[in-house]
Structure 1
Amino acid sequence: MADGLRPIQAERLARELDWNLLRTFIVLAQSGSVTRAADRLRLKQPTVSSALKRLEDRLGRKLINRKPGQFELTEAGQLLLKEAIEIQGSILRLGTLMRDVTDEIRGHVEIAMASHVVSPLYDDTLREFHERHPAATLTINVSASKDALEAVTSRRASLAVCLVRERNPKLEYLRLFREFFGLFCGPPHPLYGKTNLTKADLAGQSAVSFVTDRLEDALRPVTLMRAEADLEDRIVGTSANLEEVRRMIIAGLGIGPLPVHVAKRDIREGLLWQLPPYDALPEIDVHVVWNPKAKLNRAEQALLEMLLEKIRLTPIEERTYR
């Protein structure tokens, strides 16, 4: 070799190389002089020079050309500096990794959710998540499905639980449950409590609905059901929130759609009355949506994995609410 130093085998290098020598070399290379490096390391100059010599001997390469007025990394020194900085970064991350292994899961989870999500599986997941990770926190923001999807796409939300009309190839989807929508009215409505009704009895009646109840949106099947019932074209009240649509129906503003399984309690309590059609009701799928490129914290990752596992282990028949 031109520099007169003999390279050693990789196995021996991995066994014998001292990290402290690499750390000293990084500081030396970044400082540009033995004097400044010694000051930063709080060591004596001969100690720094000796560390450099031992590292060069271990590697069998000259790393720095030093002469009066000259301090320059050799090609081998430049390559080593790049690798040593990578190694330093890995070592610094060890503290965080070890803490994550031993500490309880903390972190905040931001969920974007459509308002008409009523799912025992989803509720059980939240309960179990809190039992396992009580230090983690949650925020659930209710909005239209379109806005929930946008929150996941822009990484403002950890995940979304919502309706899906068109799939974004940048996102991942898994069906959480299937529900069926029916038409309902409240006690003030003239059709409330009447039996043997047909769709013809609904013709011309005023309607209330969700903001996504449009042909081009996620509730397209519900829009078609309203059209077949020949309800008045003008919708007198809309909302992105199920509770507000329910409120308008109960108040008698008009006939409106609701998930059948959600309306059952209100029917028992006399707050709602189901109207035709009674069969072949429109099916609506609710999905869990997440961004695979988002960097999730441990709490976000734990909740998402728990929810996806529950979905995959539960047959779709048990996730279909009629």
Structure 2
Amino acid sequence: MVQQKLADSLNWTLLHVLIAICEEGSISAAADRLHITQSAVSQNLKRLEEQLESQLIIRNTKPLELTPIGHYCLQVAQTIFTEITSIEAMKGSNSHLLEGEIKLLVASRLHNPKYNEFLVYFKKKYPNITLDLTVKSSMDILNNLKQKTPAVGICLAGHMPEVLNRQLLFNQRYYLYCGYHHPLFSAIELTFKDLLTENFIAFNSEDIGDVLSPITVFKETHNITGQVKAYTNNLDEAVRLIYTGYGIGALPDQFIVATHLESKLRRLPPDEGIADVPIYIFWHKQRALSPIEAKFIEEIVEFDLSF
């Protein structure tokens, strides 16, 4: 009866607010996403904690930390809202008639909770469609697609090949980070000026015109003069080098949150991050799409993966 009472009285909108706070990393960012005031977000969080008679978030911690019951509540909330999206999937009574296999080429380490939600939605709406998914570098994906490989690609891109169609899916926000073994990790008062001469870890694809060139543009326009102490083409190796103190570097924030690296890395100023790197879906202009490929592209574009 106690569980029944809570289920009957709990305001599900408050769970949506909790998800936004956790996914965005702060109350202010959640307010921007939900298009409400920070005060309203704080009040909704307080109301949820009162209804559950439990503290969910530890105040005044950076990055944001959940209590054990907060973690469990977040998991329940995410499950509920994933199931809600499946209601939309039931629209279109003939969706079960589409069947076959879609070959997807996907860049590694693309973390976006809404992309996960889309895959849940798509699987429920089109249960007879199979995904053949291969992870490759963005450069390899674009090269494969330019050869009219029967596939659809999701990746970053610097130069846009003229023979490929593309649609923007979302922007991956990059922030500056230092690691546990770097002197800045334990600095109490830290400003952006403190970073201007620090050594850097850089990606090979940060060259002007390449996929991560917005990072280089930021460095140049903000007079960051530190030396590059290591280059890599691998995100995991970049994390390793940053963690071990070889230098500071730019990393996608959603990746850090998803892989629970907050205790090993420290996000540095500026608070708003340094660059948005767009993620696109690509397919060849002169290769006829199969009905299920066309449907996949249509659905993922309409789903709105921005966060």
Q: TM-score, normalised on structure 2?
A: 0.59
Given candidates 188, 199, 208, the residue that maps to 1:206 is: 199
Question: Offset of 1:274 from its aligned partner?
Answer: 1.1
The equivalent of 2:270 in structure 1 is 277
Of residues 139, 144, 157 in structure 2, which corresponds to 1:146? 139
Is 1:126 the counterpart of 2:119 in the alignment? Answer: yes
For 1:287, what is the secondary structure of its paired residue?
strand
Matched-pair contact (CA < 8 Å) for 1:106–1:298 = no
Structure-2 separation of matches of 1:255 and 1:222: 13
Deviation per CA, 1:29-82: give whole Å up to 9, x if none.
xxxxxxxxxxxxxxxxxxxxxxxxxxxxxxxxxxxxxxxxxxxxxxxxxxxxxx
What's the CA shift string for 1:149-186, capped at 9, x where partnerless?
Answer: 22222222522222232323322121111232111011
Any idea what the Cα deviations from partners look like across 1:221-255, whole Å, max 9, x if unmatched?
1112334363533341312x433322332233321
Q: Give, in whole Å, the separation in 2 of the partners of 1:131 and 1:103.
A: 9
Q: Give the match for residue 279 of structure 2.
A: 286
1:113/1:142 contact within 8 Å kept: yes
Measure, in 2, the Cα distance between the counterparts of 1:153 and 1:281: 31
Which amino acid in structure 2 is aligned with residue 247 of structure 1?
R
Q: Which amino acid aligns with 1:146?
A: M
Note if 1:232 corresponds to 2:226.
yes
Conserved? CA contact 1:214–1:220, under 8 Å? yes
Equivalent position SS for 2:186: coil
Question: 1:44 aligns to what?
Answer: none
Q: Distance in 2 between matches of 1:189 and 1:199?
A: 16
> Would the aligned equivalents of 2:111 and 2:258 in 1 still touch at CA under 8 Å?
no
Change in CA separation of 1:136 and 1:252 when aligned onto 2, cut-off 3 Å: farther
Amino acid at match of 2:231: G
Residue type matched to 2:267 in 1?
Q
- Kindly state the Cα deviation for residue 285 of structure 1 after the two structures are TM-superposed: 1.8
Note the C-alpha offset of 1:115.
Answer: 2.6
Amino acid at match of 1:230: I
The answer (yes or no) to whether the contact 1:151–1:157 under 8 Å persists in 2 is no
Unaligned runs of 5+ in 2: 1-93
Unaligned runs of 5+ in 1: 1-100, 312-317
Tell me by how many angstroms 1:277 deviates. 2.7
For residue 40 of structure 1, what is the aligned residue in structure 2? Answer: none
Cα distance in structure 2, aligned partners of 1:229 and 1:157 = 45
Contact 2:242 2:249 in 1 (8 A): yes
Relative distance call for 1:202 and 1:253 in structure 2 (3 A) is same
Question: What SS is found at the alignment partner of 1:270?
Answer: coil
**C-alpha distance in 2, partners of 1:266/1:309?**
27
TM-score (normalised: structure 1): 0.57
Q: Write the letter of the residue equivalent to 2:192.
A: K
Q: Provide the aligned C-alpha RMSD in A.
A: 3.0
Structure 2 counterpart of 1:173, from 166, 170, 186 = 166
Which position in structure 2 is the counterpart of 1:245? 238
Residue identity matched to 2:171: R
Q: What is the Cα deviation at residue 106 of structure 1?
A: 3.7
Match of 1:83 in 2: none
Please tell me the residue identity of whatever aligns with 1:108: E
Please say if residues 171 and 290 of structure 1, whose CA atoms lie closer than 8 Å, have aligned partners that are also in contact. yes
Equivalences, count: 213
Deviation at 1:102, TM superposition (A): 11
- Percent identity between the aligned chains? 26
Larger radius of gyration: 1
